[in-house]
Amino acid sequence: MRIGAVMEKEFVTVRETDPIENVLKIMTEKKVNGLPVVNEHNLLIGMVVKADIFRFMIQPGHIESCPVDWVMAKDVVSVHPDESVREAADKLLSNHIVAMPVVENSKVVGVVSVEDLLRYYSHR
């Protein structure tokens, strides 16, 4: 099975200048743990996950005014839609991450998370 069949195709991206507080609200509303960060050309430049935001929130006063750029991962692990589910799972596990963007031709076309893979394996 290819990851393109398992990934979340309806996803939200954020910009590096978006306030962390707004990004956390989006994650909560959409019930996701991570969001791709894109530039003005919709090209992937980072990935932000709740765990990074929560670590940052330990210091009071930062969440309201600081941009996503301060907490996002800039060295992003991604997967191509033609890669297998197993390859995606291996990437998540070996990199100790909970979600990653699915990228084709430098554009984000989806997001795959640990939850997506658990759902896939539990319905087999």
Q: Which domain CATH number covers 33?
A: 3.10.580.10
Token reading at 99 = 């979600």
pTM confidence score: 0.84
Distance between CA atoms of residues 71 and 66, nearest Å:
9
What's CA 89's distance to the chain center, in Å? 14
Reported as a pLDDT band with limits 50, 70 and 90, residue 122 is confident
**What's the number of domains the chain is made of?**
1
% of the chain exceeding 70 in pLDDT: 94
Distance between CA atoms of residues 123 and 100, nearest Å:
21
> 107 is in which domain, residue-wise?
3-123
Residue 3: the pLDDT is: 92
Distance between CA atoms of residues 105 and 30, nearest Å:
26
pLDDT at 62 over 70: no
Mean pLDDT, the chain, as a whole number?
90
